[in-house]
Every structure is written in C-alpha cells, then in structure tokens.
C-alpha cells in the first residue's frame, strides 16, 4: 500500500502503481546491453547451423556433450548432478540435470519447439514441364504463401535409401552452391492475380520450386531435363527417383542471420519462431553449474507448427515416458511428479508493429526491447484452444523475474477477434502441470525473415535460468 505522504506526489505514485511504458533499454544498465549483444552472436551462429528440427537436435547434442551431458539410459541409476539427454528420433531432444531431491517434489521444465514454417517436398516431387524441371512442395505450418516466392531457398534434410543408408542434404547455403526458388508472375501480366484476395493470389499447388532447365544430351527421349536432374542427383548423392519416398527434405530460406538497424539492436533471420526461445532454454541448462534442488529439464520439441501431433511432438508420450523413467528411480509414480511440476512454455509472441497497429490491443501488447514476454493465455476468440496460467503461478513467475531484476512484460496475441494462435502450453497443462508461456516478441512472425531484439533474447535466457534456480 502507498504511504500517506506520497498521496500527492505524482511521480512517486506513477512509479509505484503503474507499469510504465518507456523503452526497456532505458531501464537497464549498459552492461546488460553489452551482454545481450554478446549473447546474440552465439544465437546467430546457432540459427545458421540449425535451420531444421533435425539440425537443431544435432547441434544441440554437440553443444550438450561439450558440457558433459551423456545419453540417457533407461533403468540406469543416476545421482544428483548427473547430466543426461534423450534424443527422440533425431527430431526432438530432452536434456536433464538430476536434482538433489530427484523428482519427488516435481521437476522444473522449459519447453520450446524447434520446427518452423517451411516448404516440404512431396513424396514424388520431381517433374518436368515445358523444358523446366521443378519440385512439387507441400507447405508446413501457417505461412503467407506469397512471401515464399522469388526468394533464394536452400534444400535441407535426409534421404534414406532402400538399403538403409542415410544421406544428409544441405545445399544452397554456401556462396559457391546453387540455390532454388519459387517463381512469381511479373506485374505486367498479374492484373487478375493482384485482384484476388491475398490468400488466393498464390495457391499451395503453385509453390513449385525451380531446380533446373538443361536437358540430358539425347534428342530421342522425353523428360530430358528431369532425367538430367536425376543424373546429377545420382552422381552427387547416389539416389534414384524412388528414394524421394523415404526422404525428409525441406526448403528453407537461404538467408543468414544478421544484425538489423543502424544501431545493430535487432537480429533478422529465418526461424526465430521458435529457436529464439529454444536457444535460451538450451543455454540455460547447458550453463547451469551447480546441483539443482529439483531436477531441471529442457525439452526441444517438434511439430508445434502443425498441432504438436506425431511421435516427436508434445502430444506424443515421449515426454511422459521420460518423466516415468526418472520417477522410477525415486520409486514414485510419474503422475505425482507431473502434478508437482512447473513449466515455462518458451514460445514467442507478436511484437507490436506500428505499421499494422489496428490489429493489436496496444495496452495488452508486447514491444521490442521491453524484455521477455509472459503470455497468460493464447488461443483465439473466447480463449478457445488454450490453457490459462493461474494467478498463483503468474505471481510466482513475476516475483522470480523481479527478484532477479529481469526485464519483462506481458502481452496478448493481438485483438480478441483479430485471430489468435496456440502453443504447447495446453498439452503440458493437460498433464496437470502448472505452466505459462514465456518468450520473445517477434516482428514479421512466420515470415521467411523474422526480427527480434537482442535485449529480449538475453532476457529470455536470464528468465529461464532464474526459473531453474
């Protein structure tokens, strides 16, 4: 309660009673800004190495093993301080540090997803039309399809041959490598196209990727350009056309992560959603130096952008099975562990964009440079498709952040009837775990080139670290 002598002091009342809305850079010391800039350099490197969920898992394991993490063996007895990881099919990763109390009092969870919107190859992708070879694609996640035309694309993923050989593919990232693109119609002939609603101006079936134009040197056959492309693929990777049926191949923007703005205060890149939260969640557990009281766990999960289904998404039982294995060591049932557990669903929110202010509720939006954002609930319309963090858990998180002097804000995903979206929080909440969304504000979310603040990124790292502590 405000003291009586302050009743008529405007500045003191404003400071104690109101949230304040000045730029977060003015609220922190220069040392914190310098640390934010330094932290972002490692993040940019991670982004360039981890453009797909498989690459994110591979790079995360590499970093984890440097910090002493060992592959988890179910049934083995672990002691406090042991560092383990569980690799689920090379597309989802769980890391844990065993606590002094094990799992008896629950665990601390930080969960982020490592999949991002992209173009996946169809099972039979390669075809020829009018002397041009193209790949058929199926877009993954929520995208504005027009944003994926006329930009450089790189091909990433794996091909598994019938014999079981796995071939890793990464083509189009280096300066001396070819890249690919989806063509678009020239404005001179696009009168009809541009008169259509934006959602229908580019159809999913027209997101065909240009991959070649020179024919095989033989005038006798048909599909000579397609044959020449398959010949080149066979020479480089040793594959035949049917091998596409057993491949996970993704086309992602060939852009590199780079600083944005004259002041270099932001980072532009493909895949901020949600690697901008996955990286702080990963680093928070890798940098953890002491033995925690409760076991701490970071989960990097797949399939969030398409509903979290499948055996590598948060709807899968792999998370529960892992908790059950840990609980067995302490002779407790995993459901009791989950009931006592707490989770930060580390996911992004939509940063307020003044250019498109009409779709935001400015008083309940998050802003670039104002720190990590807590999202009490997501969903759409009347809070459909979400969980909502309790007042008690919100109060605990607020106190943790304030005690550690971490820059934070709250935010919603736009106006109530403007749209909406979801996170993995509801799947965790369904297991009777206390959970709230905490992450980084993003401009141009789901675009091939998204933008975040370096300060907000660093505050996410500090927030997850404080939660683990």
Mean pLDDT, rounded, of the chain: 93
Q: What is the pLDDT of residues 82-106, one digit of tens each?
A: 999 999 999 999 999 999 999 999 9
Per-residue pLDDT at 8: 65
Residue 1 clears pLDDT 60, i.e. is over it: no
3 state SS for 364-396: HCECCCCCEEEECECEECCCECCCECCHHHHHH
Average pLDDT over residues 213-224: 82
Question: Are 192 and 200 in contact, with CB atoms under 8 Å apart?
Answer: no
Average pLDDT over residues 6-21: 68
Per-residue pLDDT at 27: 86
Average pLDDT over residues 397-424: 90
Residue 13 clears pLDDT 90, i.e. is over it: no
Percentage of the chain beyond pLDDT 70 is 96
Average pLDDT over residues 391-418: 93
Q: How far apart are CA 404 and CA 392, in angstroms?
A: 19
pLDDT bin (cut points 50, 70, 90) of residue 70 is: very high
Residue 170 clears pLDDT 90, i.e. is over it: yes
Q: What is the pLDDT of residues 337-370, one digit of tens each?
A: 999 999 999 999 999 999 999 999 999 999 999 9
Q: How far apart are CA 372 and CA 409, in angstroms?
A: 6
Residue 4 clears pLDDT 70, i.e. is over it: no
State the burial class of residue 19 (Cβ atoms within 10 Å of its Cβ: 0-12, 13-18, 19+).
Answer: exposed
Which one, of 450, 423, 466, 460, lies nearest residue 301 by Cα?
423
What H or E segment, with its residue span, contains residue 156? strand 153-160
Largest CA distance in the chain: 96
Residue 5 clears pLDDT 70, i.e. is over it: no
Q: What is the pLDDT of residues 275-309, one digit of tens each?
A: 999 999 999 999 999 999 999 999 999 999 999 99
Per-residue pLDDT at 73: 96
Residue 21 clears pLDDT 80, i.e. is over it: no
Q: Domains in the chain, start-ordered, CATH in brackets?
A: 21-116+270-468 (3.40.630.10), 118-253 (2.30.250.10)
pLDDT bin (cut points 50, 70, 90) of residue 260 is: very high
Per-residue pLDDT at 385: 82
Q: What is the pLDDT of residues 33-52, one digit of tens each?
A: 999 999 999 999 999 999 99
pLDDT bin (cut points 50, 70, 90) of residue 149 is: very high
Residue 381 clears pLDDT 60, i.e. is over it: yes
Per-residue pLDDT at 414: 85
pTM, entire model: 0.93
Residue 272 per-residue DSSP state? H
């Amino acid at each position: 309660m405000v003291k009586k002598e302050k009743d008529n002091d405007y500045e003191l009342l404003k400071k104690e009673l109101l949230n304040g809305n000045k730029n977060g850079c003015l609220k922190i010391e220069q040392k914190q800004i310098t640390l934010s800039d330094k932290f972002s350099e490692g993040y940019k490197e991670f982004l360039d190495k981890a453009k797909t969920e498989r690459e994110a898992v591979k790079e995360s394991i590499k970093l984890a093993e440097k910090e002493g993490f060992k592959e988890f063996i179910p049934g083995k007895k672990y002691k406090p301080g042991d560092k383990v990881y569980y690799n689920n099919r090379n597309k989802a990763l769980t890391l844990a540090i065993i606590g002094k109390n094990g799992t008896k009092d629950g665990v601390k969870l930080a969960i982020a997803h490592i999949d991002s919107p992209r173009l996946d190859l169809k099972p039979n992708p390669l075809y020829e039309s009018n002397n041009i070879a193209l790949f058929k694609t199926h877009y993954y996640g929520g995208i504005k399809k027009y944003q994926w035309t006329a930009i450089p694309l790189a091909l990433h993923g794996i091909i598994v041959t019938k014999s079981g050989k796995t071939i890793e593919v990464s083509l189009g990232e280096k300066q001396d490598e070819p890249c690919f693109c989806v063509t678009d119609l020239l404005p001179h002939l696009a009168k009809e196209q541009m008169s259509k609603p934006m959602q229908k101006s580019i159809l999913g079936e027209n997101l065909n990727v240009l991959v070649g134009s020179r024919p095989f040197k033989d005038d006798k056959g048909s599909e000579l350009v397609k044959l020449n492309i398959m010949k080149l693929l066979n020479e480089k990777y040793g594959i035949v056309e049917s091998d596409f049926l057993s491949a996970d191949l993704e086309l992602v923007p060939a852009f590199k992560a780079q600083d944005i703005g004259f002041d270099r205060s932001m980072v532009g890149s493909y895949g901020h959603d949600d690697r901008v939260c996955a990286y702080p969640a990963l680093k928070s557990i890798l940098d953890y130096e002491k033995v925690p009281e409760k076991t701490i766990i970071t989960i990097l999960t797949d399939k969030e952008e398409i509903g979290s289904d499948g055996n590598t998404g948060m709807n899968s039982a792999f998370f529960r099975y892992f908790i059950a294995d840990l609980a067995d060591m302490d002779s407790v049932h995993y459901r009791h562990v989950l009931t006592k557990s707490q989770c930060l669903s580390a996911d992004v929110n939509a940063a307020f964009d003044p250019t498109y202010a009409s779709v935001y509720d400015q008083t309940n939006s998050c802003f670039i440079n104002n720190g990590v954002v807590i999202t009490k609930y997501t969903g759409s319309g009347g809070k459909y498709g979400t969980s909502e963090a309790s007042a008690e858990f919100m109060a605990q998180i607020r106190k943790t952040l304030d005690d550690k002097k971490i820059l934070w804000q709250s935010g919603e995903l736009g106006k109530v009837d403007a749209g909406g979206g979801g996170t993995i929080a509801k799947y965790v909440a369904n297991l009777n775990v206390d959970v709230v969304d905490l992450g980084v504000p993003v401009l141009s979310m789901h675009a091939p080139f998204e933008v975040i603040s370096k300060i907000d990124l660093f505050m996410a790292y500090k927030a997850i670290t404080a939660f683990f502590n």
